[in-house]
Amino acid sequence: MAPQEPRAGEAPAASPAAGGRQVWRRLLARRTVLAAGLVIVLLALIAAAAPLLSAIEGQDPTSFHNDLLDSAAGGVPTGSFGGVSAEHWLGVEPGTGRDVFARLVHGARISLLVAVGATLVQVTIGVLLGLAAGLGSRLLDQLIGNTTEVMLALPSLVFAISLMAIVPSDFPRPLLLTLVIGLLGWGGTSRLVRAQTLSLKQLDYVAAARLAGAGRWRIARRELLPSLAAPVITYAAVLLPSNVIGEAGLSFLGVGVKPPTSSWGQMLSGATTWFRADPMYVLLPSALLFATVLAFTVLGDAVRTELDPRAASRLRVGTARGADGPTADGSGGPTPTGPGPSNAAEEATA
């Protein structure tokens, strides 16, 4: 069967690939997105090449250098800026003498892997349960909906601390952090996917697939998942910086990654007693954590604006109203430039 030609005056429908390229071009046209993407790519490269970078420096994140500490001052690093030297590019830790640069780059690997892994767990569970609730029976929908409400109402931090405390210490802590954050944070994704599924399954192409004999999961895989990709990716981009903060917070509270494994949150936890004697030890992991969260937040907000037409429309309308100024009735709108009644009278007089 030959494809139908577009009618006169009607633009041909854009393919999903073309739409994806347009979104990609619009994202690259934003300077803030380019800056955020550059920061994220740089952090990912640092995390991937952490052993190589620490080897180039000639240090590792677990070796102690007590000879670089001033025991008379309570273990403060000797020298300026926390013991910065040619052998230790960012100084050493107070109290232990471990190399700060090596611990920072290895901590980037833990923080990013835990955040990305937890986001994948949240999205996977949320999409599966949201599709099951939207396509299943009323009883299944009610059961999953009530479970989702309970998960959203739970104090996640308290439960995470409790779970991290009761698990045996020999269990890998990065994997445990990933599972705990992921298993406690899928509620929002499930609610979003359920709402989108209930809306999409009323459309004609889904009804046609149902009449053709397609089962529920075939409809979900072939008809619904492509349409759910945009909102799910948008929500995942928002979840990622939250998971970075969650990992840092749990490690800061002492229930996350344990020494000698390094993490930015763990470094901040150890730096609370040294922020007066060695400010660099506090500022370095704080700056990296702030830059990571800010970059992911900026990128997630840009993706949300580009993939959500309603958000982009609201942004354009608000910008236009602000530029045109308020009208006589208090609402924004452009000032008429055509010949009104007064202009017509002036022209007739002239």
Is residue 158 a part of any domain in this protein?
A: yes
Q: What is the CATH number of the domain that holds 146?
A: 1.10.3720.10
Is residue 46 a part of any domain in this protein?
A: yes
Is the pLDDT at 347 greater than 80? The verdict is no
What is the Rg, in whole angstroms, of the alpha carbon atoms belonging to the chain?
Answer: 27
> Which tens digit of pLDDT belongs to each residue from 116-128?
999 999 999 999 9
The pLDDT assigned to 272 comes to 82
> Which tens digit of pLDDT belongs to each residue from 57-92?
999 999 898 888 888 878 888 888 888 988 999 999
Dihedrals φ, ψ of 76, to 5°?
Answer: -75, 140
The amino acid at 315: L
Is the pLDDT at 334 greater than 80? The verdict is no
Q: How far is CA 110 from CA 104, 148, 291, in A?
A: 10, 29, 16
The pLDDT assigned to 292 comes to 94
> Which tens digit of pLDDT belongs to each residue from 1-52?
444 444 444 434 444 555 667 878 888 888 999 999 999 999 999 999 999 9
> Helix 187-200 to helix 138-153 angle, to the nearest 10 degrees?
150
The pLDDT assigned to 322 comes to 52
Residues 6+ away with beta carbon under 8 Å from 216: 135, 136
Handedness of CA 158, 160, 163, 169 (dihedral sign): negative
Is the pLDDT at 201 greater than 60? The verdict is yes
Is residue 264 a part of any domain in this protein?
A: yes
Whether the Cβ atoms of residue 209 and residue 225 lie closer than 8 Å to each other: no
Ordered alpha helix ranges (H), the chain: 16-28, 31-48, 50-57, 100-135, 138-153, 156-166, 173-183, 187-200, 204-211, 216-219, 225-252, 264-271, 279-307, 309-324, 341-349
Is residue 98 a part of any domain in this protein?
A: yes
Lowest mean pLDDT, pick from 15-19, 176-180, 290-294, 295-299? 15-19
The pLDDT assigned to 325 comes to 52
Is the pLDDT at 314 greater than 60? The verdict is no
pLDDT, mean of residues 170-183 = 93
Is the pLDDT at 313 greater than 80? The verdict is no
Query: To which H or E segment does residue 70 belong?
Result: strand 69-70
Name the residue among 296, 238, 300, 302 with its Cα closest to residue 27.
Answer: 302
* Number of domains within the chain: 1
- Confidence at 346, pLDDT banded by 50, 70, 90: very low
Is the pLDDT at 341 greater than 50? The verdict is no
Is residue 5 a part of any domain in this protein?
A: no
User: 219 lies in which domain range?
Assistant: 29-55+84-313
Is residue 281 a part of any domain in this protein?
A: yes
For tokens 């390094």, the residue is: 262
Residues 6+ away with beta carbon under 8 Å from 260: 61, 62
Is residue 289 a part of any domain in this protein?
A: yes
Rounded Cα distance between 74 and 332, Å, is 64
> Which tens digit of pLDDT belongs to each residue from 275-292?
888 888 889 999 999 999
For tokens 């970075």, the residue is: 244
The pLDDT assigned to 106 comes to 94
Sort residue 137 into left (φ over 0), alpha (ψ -120 to 50) or beta.
Answer: beta
Whether the Cβ atoms of residue 128 and residue 195 lie closer than 8 Å to each other: no
Is residue 61 a part of any domain in this protein?
A: no
Of all residues in the chain, what percent carry a pLDDT higher than 70?
82
Residues 6+ away with beta carbon under 8 Å from 251: 177, 257, 263, 264, 265, 266, 269
The pLDDT assigned to 336 comes to 44
